Amino acid sequence: MTRRLGTVLIANRGEIAWRIMRTVQATGRRAVLVFHELDAQSQAVREADLAIRIDGTSPVGAYLDAAQIIAAARDAGADAIHPGYGFLAENAAFARAVGEAGIVFIGPTPEAIELMGDKVRARAFVAARGFPVAPSAIEDDDPSSFPERARALGPPLLIKPAAGGGGKGMRIVRDMAVLDAEIERARSEGQRYFGDGRLYVERYIERPRHIEVQVLGDAHGNVVHLWERECSVQRRFQKVIEETPSPALTPAKRREICEAAAGIARAAGYVNAGTVEFIYGDGAFYFLEMNTRLQVEHPVTELVTGRDLVAEQLRIAEGEALGYAQGDIRQDGHAIELRLYAEDPARNYAPTTGRIARLRWPEVDGLRIDSGVIEGQRVSAAFDPMLAKLIAHGADRTQAIARARRALQETALLGLTTNREFLDRVLADADFADGRVHTGFLDERAERLAVPAPDDDTLVALIAAVALSDAGLRAEADAVPALYATMGAWRN
């Protein structure tokens, strides 16, 4: 049975709220948005059909208040809630509460979120069905022997929180002498970030690539993949640049990894949009995790397949069948996404704040911009530092990179430090251009990608410009000394 969704409440903020809103409104539906007062001047709030303010003990806390969000949906007469990504997007209790309130949750079932959201359960589920997973030790199997079993795997090791995500709590251990201490640190971080201190350890693959596959499933048992994305350019285990197709995969390996992802989703009875992530190296791939939501980097998939993933999510949530088979999904060209962050790469990617004094986006062929900010808006440290995503599409990877670089160079965003110039330096790197990347790519090239020191002439010009921009200093330099001022007008 299908059910037409007329009003969708978007339980998120920033660029993803605005991006979801575009499709909701374009498909003739009413878009309702909840917002914290810090987001009152955002683009999404301004363009929503209805915006409802929510409060919390902290700005983030407001977007995590499930009861308040469900109450807002009821007040607005919403048929459905779209969680976007982050916040409550992978919270099974929230998805279940939405359904119990008679509202459609635009995402997978609570049971699927519970299964695949728990990294330990997900790994066991995948391994039991014959899909490849990296050698590992799981604390739940026998907590007392966990450190001993971890040591038996041999270095290097990667410690992960069982309920983790976004790189939080993850630690690489190469010296077994510090393993016990790192386990305790990871446990503490897992408890702090996720309220769950359970851990697992897996063999860390040096210089791995991060490959993920977009999948869609409907309530009629149909599952397809929409090909892969490469997300290897990361800082602190968080993605910075994503692209599709991956330059690392042969056509045969691409089919193999994509079919494995679809098989995992099919085995889980997965419904709606999700992403299966793998670690890839030396021709082998291993299951990493499944994200039971829309991904930040979904636009690159949309550009090469021509399919609106949010529109697909809406159709699936209404009970419709996919209506197409795997062979109908083709890749056209190449797409690269750049995450524009309010951060300073020269200061270990420290978040930056300030008011956006000027904002002008470029006009470049094949360019899509998903933005969460407008000129004049104040950027705080209360939320994730991502300001926007610049997504370039080209006939091939070379053209996509060229368009992405032009977009960066022609973007004007003044008022706070961003990673715009840093991203351009990454794209200009010869190894990146050749597709030779891995998850430690940015760390290995920290010096090479640093801001180049200005030459002497440039330095003198910059000092002069700063000096001349100071009104007090300029007035003092232009002032006529009192002795000469008393002489009045004179001529030599």
With a pLDDT cut of 70, the percent of the chain lying above it is 96
CA–CA distance, 205 with 256 (Å, rounded to integer)? 20
DSSP per-residue string spanning 46-85: HH-SEEEE---SSHHHHHT-HHHHHHHHHHHT-SEEE--S
Strand 30-35, strand 7-10: pairing:
parallel
Domain parsing of the chain, residue ranges = 7-106, 135-203, 209-444
Q: How does residue 141 score in pLDDT terms, banded at 50, 70 and 90?
A: confident
Confidence of residue 484 (pLDDT cuts 50, 70, 90): low
What are the structure tokens assigned to 226, written together? 């929409």
Task: Give me the architecture of the 7-106 domain, per CATH.
Answer: 3-Layer(aba) Sandwich (3.40)
Could you tell me which residues are beta bridge partners of residue 275?
214, 291
Tell me the whole-structure pTM to 2 decimals: 0.87
**How many C-beta atoms surround the C-beta of residue 295 within 10 A?**
21
The closest alpha carbon to 301, from 280, 261, 332, 266, belongs to 332
Q: Is the pLDDT of residue 428 over 70?
A: yes
- Residue type present at position 152: A
* pLDDT attached to residue 458: 78
The yes or no reply on domain 135-203 and CATH 3.30.1490.20 is: yes
pLDDT at residue 97 in the model: 98
Please check the confidence at residue 374 and state whether its pLDDT lies above 90: yes
Q: CB 114: neighbour CB atoms within 10 A?
A: 18
CATH of 209-444, one of 3.40.50.2300, 3.30.1330.30, 3.40.1160.10, 3.30.470.20: 3.30.470.20
Q: What is the pLDDT of residues 160-172, one digit of tens each?
A: 888 776 677 889 9
Q: What is the pLDDT of residues 155-204, one digit of tens each?
A: 999 998 887 766 778 899 999 999 999 999 999 888 888 888 889 898 88
Assess whether pLDDT exceeds 60 at residue 492: no
Q: Which of 164, 222, 155, 232 is nearest to 195 (CA)?
A: 164
Alpha-carbon distance 106 to 8, whole Å?
A: 9
**Interatomic CA distance for residues 271 and 195, integer angstroms:** 27
Q: Is the peptide bond before 245 cis (omega within 30 degrees of 0)?
A: yes
Q: Which tokens in the block code for residue 243? A: 């692209």
- According to the model, what pLDDT value does residue 491 have? 62
| Cα–chain center distance at 294 | 10
Cα distance between residue 417 and residue 79, in whole Å: 40
What is the band of 282 on the pLDDT scale with cuts at 50, 70, 90? Answer: confident
